[in-house]
Amino acid sequence: MIRAFANPHRFMALSRWLAPACLCIGALLMVWSVWQGLWVVPQDDYQGGDIMRAMFVHVPSAWLAMASYMGLAATSLIWFIWRHELADMAAKSIAPLGAAYTAMCLATGSIWGKPTWGTWWLWDDARMMSVLVMFFLFLGYMALRAAMETRQKAARAGAILAMVGAVNVPLIKFSVDIWSSIHQDASVLRLDGPAMPPVYLTPLLIGGLAHMIFFAGLTMMLMRAEVWGRRGDVLIARKLSGS
């Protein structure tokens, strides 16, 4: 499968069925997770009552926001070292999806935070600000690529920004440990195991897996569109040159 994603022709053949399969499986698991979180799991008064159900959207979106930026940085690094065009297509496809997940993370966090903490936003909260920085990094990556004259310049400038910005991701993860924050400590990814009861943990983890599969399907669909677009550009260039 790795070789298939390293060759445009093999990638197109594999993603023709894998992309819709990921979208369908991810969507089904996502619906199940949200249904469990909103209507099945018991209310947790310690976490603020029914508003805690927002975590079944907020937490997976936060995981995917950080994972998507690391994917953006990794594919940018691969292109930067080996000049692999599919890696650049992947990076270009990940950016808008990562921005959307980061926006969803910020929005659902504010909705959850208002009744829990009494405010929509805190400018001095390290985690909120570092996630906001990541959102602007996604937007900056897309704007920078759009401003470049050629595809190679766009890929190079975007790759450098993505790799430099990757330092922000561990800051998001460990911000609650390094600085004071109104966010609670980690309750899922812990060295001594999850602190969350299984009744909440199971649908949350399945929701995270669902969003990951769905994200992979969307990324492949955007990459396929990019491949077709570049093939179209080549054909147009040949016609204009008369060859």
Q: What is the mean pLDDT of residues 176-203?
A: 76
Asked if residue 178 has pLDDT above 80, the reply is no
Asked if residue 217 has pLDDT above 70, the reply is yes
Q: Can you give the C-alpha Rg of the chain in angstroms?
A: 20
Burial of 82 (0-12, 13-18, 19+ CB in 10 A): exposed
Distance CA 144, CA 75 (A): 17
Token pair belonging to 179: 């600085």
Report percent pLDDT > 90 for the chain.
Answer: 66
Torsion angle (degrees, nearest 10) of CA 217, 215, 69, 63: -150
Asked if residue 3 has pLDDT above 60, the reply is no
Distance CA 58, CA 111 (A): 9
The pLDDT, as a whole number, for residue 100 is 98
Confidence of residue 243 (pLDDT cuts 50, 70, 90): low
- Residue 4 phi/psi, 5-degree rounding, is -65, -35
The pLDDT, as a whole number, for residue 45 is 52
Other beta carbons within 10 angstroms of residue 46's beta carbon come to: 7
Q: How far is CA 142 from CA 65, 102, 146, 149, in A?
A: 16, 14, 6, 14
The pLDDT, as a whole number, for residue 46 is 53
Please tell me whether residue 188 adopts helix, strand or coil conformation: coil
Measured CA angle at 101 (ends 124, 115), to 5 deg: 50
Q: What is the mean pLDDT of residues 86-109?
A: 97
Asked if residue 4 has pLDDT above 60, the reply is no
Burial of 32 (0-12, 13-18, 19+ CB in 10 A): middle
**Among the ranges given (12-21, 87-96, 118-127, 190-199), the one the predictor scored with the smallest mean pLDDT:** 190-199
Asked if residue 2 has pLDDT above 60, the reply is no
